[in-house]
Amino acid sequence: MEKLREASAEFRTVGGWKVSTADVQRAAERLVEVVREVFGAPLSLDDEDGTHFDAFLNSHVIAEDLRALFDGARVREGLKDAEYEGFARRIAANSIPAEESLYYFLGAYWGEWLVRHRGAVWMLHAPLRPLQAFPDMITSNGTVSLHPFSQVLKKIADPIGDNLAYKAGVFPNEYIPPYPLIASMADHREATLALLPSEVREAQGAVKQGDMEGALQLLEQAVEREPGNLLLLLQLQQTAWQAQEWELTHKALTSLLRQYPHARSYYNLGVFYAQFDLLDEAVESMRQAILLNPKYGRAKVTMAALLAEQGEVDVARSILTQVLTEGYDSTLQEEAQRLLSELQ
């Protein structure tokens, strides 16, 4: 901790902590140097496996009396009930150090790892308060904004319930990149709009006024200028769907998928085909969604329903039975069970 306090001097300003991309990148590299010097631990931003950071935190940063609970990034296997209950009591009573420099450097490292390996982008604005544990993800304009400083704090506060590598594997399946890294949850909307051309803000205003035609014209003009902006294509697809402009919806969806095959977009394409009774195309879209995200329970249930409609009842039952064993949320489980009962 003392080494980080010493290193923090160059990253502090009168108003708080430095937030430029260059500064947080240097802070991430400085953490690597300190960790190597103090612990001899091989912490590397080039490591593609996010569990390396969970393992480091479990071994060296979380409360000392909790470290024996872990084997690397995972909870140690073979714990007796009494041992686990003892650790649970310690976690409930766990207190974390109120040390801003710790969370600044850890958050800078974790955020820079997300930039290099998960399509995130630094979009910090002062003031940055690293010592906070507000919700660390928030959605806006088709993507998700992340607060890496809050994420590492929550990990240290609850090392069993909070796993950084798990989080880093979830949001890319749900949302389109890039993913803004922000200093405050209040910044999320402006951060995502900054990734989009000005026409999007105008189009959103037009939608609120009920001018769907004007909104679509603005978005199409922007796409013509920036055809590779994935979030812009998503805006066009969603607005066209809302306006029931189906040809434009299909064009935007397929353009998005050509550039960035994504499970949720394939799911949306499947729903699009299903509403026009194009069942073969709908099933294939759901299949592609599941191939990209094997844990996509909603796509599995929807595909089962489509297959049943095609007469493939045995295949539909098999999929639904599998869903019931995979630990999805209760709403999806109930839907799968209801559909399976109807197919008996």
For residue 133, the model assigns a pLDDT of: 65
Length of the chain measured in residues: 344
b/e map 75-92, b = 16+ CB within 10 Å: eeeeeeeeeeeebeeebe
Count each helix (H run) and each strand (E run) in the chain, helices first: 17, 8
**Rounded Cα gap, residues 7 and 206, in angstroms:** 49
Nearest to 142 by CA among 183, 198, 200: 200
**Rounded Cα gap, residues 217 and 12, in angstroms:** 46
**Rounded Cα gap, residues 328 and 27, in angstroms:** 39
For residue 252, the model assigns a pLDDT of: 98
**Rounded Cα gap, residues 86 and 94, in angstroms:** 12
* Residue 175: CA count within 13 A, CB half-sphere: 24
Nearest-5° angle of CA 125, CA 127, CA 131? 115
* Residue 19: CA count within 13 A, CB half-sphere: 19
Three-state SS string across 283-326, please? HHHHHHHHHHCCCCHHHHHHHHHHHHHCCCHHHHHHHHHHHCCC
Instruction: List per-block mean pLDDT (blocks of 10 residues) for the chain, which spans 344 residues.
Output: 88 90 98 94 94 96 90 89 83 82 96 98 94 84 95 92 93 95 94 97 97 98 97 98 98 98 97 98 98 97 97 97 94 96 92
Contact between 28 and 45 (Cβ < 8 Å): yes
**Rounded Cα gap, residues 246 and 272, in angstroms:** 9
Domains and CATH numbers, the chain: 2-192 (no CATH), 198-342 (1.25.40.10)
**Rounded Cα gap, residues 286 and 291, in angstroms:** 9
For residue 93, the model assigns a pLDDT of: 78
Question: Residue 203's Cα: distance from chain center in Å?
Answer: 26
Residue 311: partners with Cβ closer than 8 Å, 6 or more residues away:
none
**In the numeric block, which tokens belong to residue 161?**
């319930």
CB atoms within 10 A of CB 145: 25
**Rounded Cα gap, residues 322 and 300, in angstroms:** 9
